[in-house]
Amino acid sequence: MTKQKSTVPDMSELTAFLNAQSGSISKRQLARAFKIKGDGRTILRHMLKDLQKNGLIERDHTSKNYRILMSGRLPEHCQVEITGQDSMGDLLGRPYQWTAQETPPQIIIVKNKINPPAGVGDIVQAHVKYISSRLYEGTVLKRLTHGNNQLVGMYENGRVLCVDRRITTPFVLTDVPRNIKNRDLILFDAPMIRSRQPVARFIQRIGSADEAFFATLTAIYMHKIPFLFEEQTLKQVENLKVPSLDSNRIDLTQIPFVTIDGEDARDFDDAVWAEQTDNGGFHIMIGIADVSWYVRSNTSLDRDAWTRGNSVYFPDRVIPMLPFELSNGVCSLKPHERRAALVCEIWIDKNGRKIKHRFVRCLIQSVRRLTYTEVQEALDNKQPIVSLEKEIKALHDVYLVLKKQRQKRGVMEIDVPEQEIHLNKAGEVVCIRPRQQTDSMRLIEELMILANVSAA
């Protein structure tokens, strides 16, 4: 009796069959559907693994069944490029092979199982879990390639000591230029494999440990904070202009908006205004710079901003998320200058309950740049703010009714004192003392919460 030959489908036939299924299907069901027997089952298993590896199908870990991968989703196992860290210290990544026009989803690395752990610049094989179309969680399974292992250290007599206190062994430095001096801060390339006398390669000098605020430079290079913009991004922000009024943008330049910030604020991205209504309630406007008008999706400017995520503030400088032309230019709500803004317009009753709200794109023109100290002195009846007395009083009254409404709802109050670090001209810490929280600060916080609640 002759053995029946197994009929194994080709890849296109197998993919078409899986695509026609309304749900998942097991390997046994596939074998039965194609009448596959004997050695053909082994071939089928390898075909399914190849489809899974190429991101065309996924396998359910509970039922072990296979299904076509939903459009736009990453496969459960994929290559991930580690691009940075978030504020909690978790590694962030993106799909290594991404050809779509849309911005790639972000992958938060929640487990880093390999030793030594994966770092920024590494390409890793990871198991990813779908959270949303823009977010995945990932577990590192193995490192495929090492990234840039650049470290920051201080040069001393032919050796360099890393500023990262976790690395205590000094490195013997090669390719050292003649003009390098002791106590110079340098960037160097360190080997991944440690030894008792590791050798490192000099890359560049970044400063000196004797310079004022040398810790700023150290932090920028140590944490790989991007401080240079792409050439295409810089071209994109040349000759920026504030948009004109049209059917989608209304004129609110007649409203006397004010910005209220700390004395050391370097940019002004929100402005406020309020007035009391005839029924005892309040009409409030909270405006922020309309950054999205200038930062269009999937442009070089958008990608640079995405890489940074936020601006980084140091005592002596700012590493901005957006180029200076935006952050300190058309997106800074400077007094007496027209600016594109997104305004949340809110009406509340005399008890602080929200009646209605709307969001509008508009042009505004701030009339004054105020500080928390100035506003607090006005609230304490020490020094009035000339020509804005009515608006400042209305803003304070809004804060008081919102505070009363919040206390009535029983909202938990967590008042953690914020510490203020004072430095001298050399960048050395002189003292650390609690920053006093005033009503002028709480006023702005309360209005921002109100705008966020309206947006939600």
Greatest extent of the chain over all pairs of C-alpha atoms, in Å:
108
Distance CA 413, CA 87 (A): 24
pLDDT score of 193 more than 50: no
Q: Residue 394 pLDDT more than 90?
A: yes
| pTM, 2 dp | 0.65
Beta bridge partners of 25: 66
Contact between 387 and 400 (Cβ < 8 Å):
no
Mean pLDDT of the chain: 86
Distance CA 368, CA 311 (A): 24
Rounded mean pLDDT of 224-229? 89
> For the chain, what are the domain ranges?
11-68, 77-145, 150-222, 240-455
The fold for domain 11-68 equals Arc Repressor Mutant, subunit A (1.10.10)
CA distance 91 to 100: 23
Is 60 exceeded by the pLDDT of residue 226?
yes
Reported as a pLDDT band with limits 50, 70 and 90, residue 53 is low
DSSP string, 28-86: HHHHHHTT--THHHHHHHHHHHHHHHTTSEEE-TTT--EEEPPTTPPPSEEEEEEEEE-
Q: What is the pLDDT of residues 245-287, one digit of tens each?
A: 999 999 999 999 999 998 888 789 999 999 999 999 999 999 9
Residue 455: the pLDDT is 92
What's the pLDDT score for residue 26? 84
Highest mean pLDDT among 32-36, 77-81, 91-95, 292-296: 292-296
Do domains 11-68 and 150-222 share one topology? The answer is no
Give the closest residue to 356 by CA, choosing from 278, 453, 255.
453
- State both tokens at 241: 């202009």
CATH of domain 150-222: 2.40.50
Least confident piece of the model among 82-91, 176-185, 298-307, 435-444: 82-91
Which residue has 């150290």 as its token pair?
218
Answer for the pair 99, 57: CB distance below 8 angstroms, yes or no: no
- Is cis: bond before 116, omega within 30 of 0? yes
Least-confidence region, from 94-98, 115-119, 448-452: 115-119
**Tokens 């967590």 belong to residue:** 414
- Other beta carbons within 10 angstroms of residue 186's beta carbon come to 23
User: Does the pLDDT of residue 21 top 90, yes or no?
Assistant: no
How does pLDDT run across 336-362, given as a tens digit for each residue? 999 999 999 999 999 999 999 999 999
**DSSP character for 253?**
T
pLDDT of 2: 45
Provide mean pLDDT across the span 131-145.
85
- pLDDT tens readout for residues 401-435: 999 998 888 887 777 788 888 888 888 889 999 88
pLDDT at 192: 53
Burial class (CB in 10 A: 0-12, 13-18, 19+), 341: buried
Architecture of domain 77-145: Beta Barrel (2.40)
Cα 80 from Cα 125, distance rounded (Å) = 6
Does position 382 have pLDDT exceeding 60, yes or no?
yes
Instruction: Categorize the per-residue pLDDT at 121 as very low, low, confident or very high, splitting at 50, 70 and 90.
Output: confident
Q: Determine the pLDDT at residue 130.
A: 82
Tokens 């594109």, located at residue: 340
